[in-house]
């Protein structure tokens, strides 16, 4: 008889961290899903802004083989809570993308609090990582998820999970079944080729065709459970809507979430002339569609650009309101809700936020070998003020500056602190500093995208001549590029400290200039303080004497 063994290596530690991590994340993520025919190069893309108060450390889970009877320890808060059978082979995972170019992202929509099952084994983040370790395609990933939550339960709030492989893009939405419940309730929709989708902390799947088994997947209890709990009454004659049943939208959630969907859609498809009414909770307005066709096909740079959005140029422009200050700083400090004279108000919630811990855009390409085709474009902190670097899924190492550091101590060894420092310092004189930031941002990213064809051409040649060198080559390039980019960012930080000092701005000749405040802001100052700061003209003084 095969003796049962248990994984007690670093893998257990990884799953411990994955179980703890969701507790540190806020319900504040944004994800964009792009299908093959909607992209310029025939790739699928998944973006994921992971927003929360933590110092991220991207990781690599190596591929591994296991003997029959091996058990995987699932830990939470340092203790083993359960062992489950391990599969015989797991795939390598870089961040949230595996060696077969399968990629995942998510946003939390919460839903009905009573549906959270505290005894459900799988929280969403470890569930996503195991899906990546055990699946090669999006459909296989859904199968893995369905089997695991049915057997061991689902323990998180409602989640929208974006899944892409080299061929297809799917949106999966899942909720628990409450205390003492079993399994989970879920539905998955294949995004039609040529379309793009976006999610932002509210359930997005509404009505769906239960007979379309090729493009729709769902749990057997998806409707019966809603009827049992009183979330849906078929006698009323309305079609079943997953979102309405399991995450009935409130004014607060629509303002917080739908505005981001609207802004992504209005930028990618201006021809739709999409109204902001639904995102403003206007009576009679209709929810935004699950997916749209973009006016133009997208590349990775376009998807990154969507995450750099504070609603600029719209009535919700966060660089124009009073709290943006004289220099148009868009960041709004938490809490997002606040009270004046017993009336509740809320800041706009942008796509680009200082609360972002990291953002990724995955690139999966059908016509490129997996060793070269899967690219994990990764950026720390606020996407508006950060830069993205490529990590190919064939790598086995990550740069030290991306895997070290802590929120407890500022460190120049940490790439996250480099991005975080520059983003925070820019709030002192945003409208000026952002130009310096964007210049270096453009230099780093333009170089990375310009080098991509040459890097990949060399890698493809190596695959023909000596495939064993692929990993070394990709490791060297990805690590060197990331370290060089972080070094440039620290140099940018030093420049900002020197250039913007004591309210002055140093010009190119290192001479200081007194820029003062914009006239528009000075007018606000006069309106607020009246004549108290006014200097009288000489003739007025003489007249008074």
The CA distance from 264 to 287, in Å, is 14
Listed as ranges, residues in the chain with pLDDT below 70 are 1-27, 77-80, 545
Q: Where are the beta strands (DSSP E) in 260-399?
A: 291-292, 337-340, 343-346, 356-365, 375-380, 389-392
Q: Where are the beta strands (DSSP E) in 315-388?
A: 337-340, 343-346, 356-365, 375-380
The CA distance from 526 to 517, in Å, is 13
pLDDT for 3 equals 43
pLDDT for 9 equals 38
Return the bridge partners of 88, or none.
Answer: none
Nearest CA-CA partner of 46 in 140, 133, 130, 172: 172
The CA distance from 407 to 329, in Å, is 23
DSSP 39: B
Instruction: Quickly list H helices, 24-162.
Output: 124-134, 138-152
Tokens of 84: 């489950």
The CA distance from 317 to 310, in Å, is 6
pLDDT for 215 equals 98
Q: How far apart are the first and last CA of the chain?
A: 110
The CA distance from 423 to 95, in Å, is 23
Question: What pLDDT, in 10s, does the model give residues 220-265?
Answer: 999 999 999 999 999 999 999 999 999 999 999 999 999 999 999 9
Question: What pLDDT, in 10s, does the model give residues 52-76?
Answer: 999 999 999 999 999 999 999 988 7
Which residues have a Cβ under 8 Å from the Cβ of 247 and sit 6 or more positions away?
Answer: 109, 110, 111, 112, 158, 175, 202, 203
The phi and psi torsions of 494 (rounded to 5 degrees) equal: -60, -40
pLDDT for 96 equals 98
Cα–Cα distance list, 259 to 279, 286, 338 (Å): 5, 13, 19
Extract long-range pairs of 450-453: CB within 8 Å, 24+ residues apart.
Answer: 451/481, 452/375, 452/390
Query: Could you tell me how many residues make up the chain?
Result: 545
């Amino acid at each position: 008889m095969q003796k049962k063994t248990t994984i007690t290596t670093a893998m257990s530690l990884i799953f411990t961290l994955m179980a703890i991590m969701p507790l540190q994340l806020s319900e504040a993520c944004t994800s964009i899903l792009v299908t093959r025919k909607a992209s310029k190069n025939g790739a699928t893309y998944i973006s994921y802004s992971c927003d929360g108060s933590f110092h991220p450390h991207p990781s690599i889970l190596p591929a591994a083989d296991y003997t029959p009877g091996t058990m995987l320890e699932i830990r939470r808060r340092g203790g083993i809570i359960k062992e489950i059978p391990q599969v015989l082979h797991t795939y390598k995972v870089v961040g949230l993308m595996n060696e077969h170019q399968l990629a995942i992202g998510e946003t939390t929509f919460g839903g009905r609090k009573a549906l959270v099952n505290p005894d459900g084994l799988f929280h969403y983040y470890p569930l996503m990582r195991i899906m990546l370790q055990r699946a090669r395609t999006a459909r296989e990933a859904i199968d893995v998820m369905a089997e695991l939550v049915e057997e061991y339960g689902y323990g998180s709030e409602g989640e929208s999970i974006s899944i892409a492989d080299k061929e297809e893009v799917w949106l999966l939405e899942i909720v628990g079944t409450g205390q003492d419940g079993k399994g989970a309730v879920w539905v998955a929709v294949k995004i039609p080729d040529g379309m793009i989708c976006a999610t932002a902390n509210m359930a997005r799947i509404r009505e769906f065709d239960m007979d379309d088994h090729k493009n729709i997947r769902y749990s057997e209890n998806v409707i019966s459970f809603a009827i049992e709990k009183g979330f849906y009454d078929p006698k009323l004659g309305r079609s079943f809507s997953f979102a309405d049943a399991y995450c009935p939208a409130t004014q607060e959630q629509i303002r917080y979430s739908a505005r981001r969907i609207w802004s992504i859609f209005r930028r990618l498809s201006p021809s739709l002339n999409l109204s902001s009414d639904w995102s403003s909770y206007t009576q009679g307005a209709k929810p935004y569609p699950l997916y749209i066709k973009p006016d133009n096909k997208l590349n990775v740079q376009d998807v990154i650009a969507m995450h750099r959005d504070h609603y600029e140029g719209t009535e919700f422009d966060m660089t124009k309101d009073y709290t943006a200050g004289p220099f148009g700083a868009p960041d709004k400090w938490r809490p997002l809700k606040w009270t004046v004279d017993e009336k509740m108000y809320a800041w706009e919630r942008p796509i680009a936020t200082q609360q972002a811990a990291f953002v990724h855009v995955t690139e999966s390409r059908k016509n490129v070998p997996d060793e070269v085709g899967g690219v994990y474009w990764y950026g720390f902190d606020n996407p508006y003020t950060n830069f993205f670097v490529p990590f190919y899924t064939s790598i086995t190492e990550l740069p030290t500056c991306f895997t070290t550091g802590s929120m407890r101590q500022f460190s120049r060894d940490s790439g996250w602190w480099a991005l975080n420092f520059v983003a925070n310092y820019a709030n002192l004189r945003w409208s000026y500093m952002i130009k310096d930031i964007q210049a270096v941002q453009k230099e780093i990213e333009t170089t990375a995208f310009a080098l991509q064809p040459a890097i990949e051409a060399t890698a493809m040649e190596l695959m023909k001549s000596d495939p064993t060198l692929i990993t070394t080559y990709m490791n060297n390039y990805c690590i060197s590029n990331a370290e060089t980019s972080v070094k440039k960012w620290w140099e940018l930080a030093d420049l900002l400290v020197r250039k913007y000092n004591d309210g002055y701005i140093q010009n190119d000749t290192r001479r200081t200039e007194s820029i003062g405040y914009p006239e528009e802001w000075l007018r606000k100052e006069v309106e607020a303080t009246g004549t108290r700061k006014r200097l009288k003209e000489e003739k007025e003084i003489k007249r008074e004497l």
